[in-house]
Amino acid sequence: MHARPWQRVNEFYLNTVRGNFSFPLLFQSQTLPEHDDSGVPVISDKAELESGVSKDRSGKWARFNFKIVLSYHGDSFDGWQKQPNLNTVQSIVEASLGKFVDEDKIQLLKDKGLPIEGCAAVAGRTDKGVTALQQVCSFYTWKKDIKPREIEDAINDAAPGKLRVVSVHEVSRAFHPNFSAKWRRYLYIFPLTDGWDKGQCSGNEETSDSLVYNVICDSVSKDELGDEKKSFVFSVRKVNRLLQKLEGKLLSYKMFARDTKASRNDGPPTECFVHHARAMEARLPITENGEETRVMCIELAANRFLRKMVRVLVATTIREAAAGAEDDALLKLMDATCRRATAPPAPPDGLCLVDVGYEEFDKEKCFILKD
């Protein structure tokens, strides 16, 4: 997998973050649905009174909560989560929010010898190399008279061209970017140009769009791969059929969160509900050199995903399509007793967190709707 032209995917994501390109270019649609705040609790004195909260804001009720929607280029950062000596999105965002911290917290941080930074909660942490188009985080403070535009400017100045604020709104204290979310949607762009092998295509409907897939993934031991590289031919249509079987189903973390420790040893496995799972072929925008890159786009939406889960699902689906497995092969994998029955995760370069929803999922807003 790593031998593929991921640089073209990275360039597309970077230009999308900068606003030069957009996902509708891939799918011949007109617009990208704007981030919908209809499911986010709004600020209302009446609502506060009905919930038994005093109209006089004091103590913890006096704080102001801001919802921040971010777009950032995955290859430019070492992931979301703050880590020592690494360039992460969270560290940059929280440093930018330092000027909006209230006096009491400033004094507390000084007493502890800590830098003056804000604290940002997030809808879902992304790994190094994973891009986000509409990531959602929140920040609260007791400092008054903060304008959303001031927060936007502070973050935009921190890493121009790599990190961009889509929107900032003051929201209810009840809002939490993770716990309030009802679904997350991801897009995986898999380059198809390298490995095209016309000699392996017979011209029928099933193989006319077949491509060579090299099983070379990250976090793979020599024992798993052996000494030789394996090549398979797979059909994008077959990938789509395998994925469609997941729609409306509960997907087990036990199998598809392959490299993540199981949440429990006994009892039923934790699960996520899959709203949407489709694949189709597309083409990245033509470069200045006139080059065009054929890609397979995989769109996945569920109420939640575990770390690396989307990448494991992508790699496993391609592997099963190449092996000519039955259309319900992914569902059958959940009955496996060994977590290594699924494939190692696909490279992070192709993955993008498209958006996070706080209203009921609407399939009509997805990019890939055709069977």
pLDDT given at position 240: 96
Beta carbons of 267 and 146 less than 8 angstroms apart? no
Residues 162-173 have a mean pLDDT of 95
E-only strand ranges, the chain: 64-72, 121-122, 131-141, 163-171, 183-191, 210-214, 231-235, 250-252, 271-283, 294-302, 351-357
For the chain, how far is it from start to end, CA to CA, in angstroms? 26
Q: Which of 21, 13, 1 is nearest to 72 (CA)?
A: 13
* Whole-structure pTM value: 0.84
Instruction: Give yes or no for residue 315 having a pLDDT over 70.
Output: yes
Q: What percent of the chain has pLDDT over 90?
A: 56
Q: Of 148, 171, 194, which one is at a domain's C-terminal end?
A: 171
Chain-centroid distance of CA 318 in Å reads 19
Any idea what the CATH number is for the domain that residue 290 is in? 3.30.70.660
Residues 264-287 have a mean pLDDT of 80
Task: Give the number of domains in the chain.
Answer: 2
Is 36 a domain residue? no
pLDDT tens, 18-64? 999 888 888 875 455 555 555 555 444 434 433 434 445 555 567 89
Q: Which domain holds residue 267?
A: 183-365
Give DSSP secondary structure letters for 152-214. HHHHHTTSTTTEEEEEEEEE-TT--TTTT--EEEEEEEEE-STT--GGG--SSTTTTTEEEEE
pLDDT given at position 217: 43
Query: Mean pLDDT over all residues of the chain?
Result: 81
Span of 57-71, 84-98, 190-204, 357-371 with lowest mean pLDDT: 190-204
Is 75 a domain residue? yes
Question: Do 201 and 347 belong to one domain?
Answer: yes
In single-letter form, the type of residue at position 353 comes to L
Question: Do 129 and 187 belong to one domain?
Answer: no
Any idea what the CATH number is for the domain that residue 127 is in? 3.30.70.580
pLDDT given at position 258: 57
| 127 is an active site residue | yes
Candidate list 102, 127, 153, 218, residue with the active-site label: 127
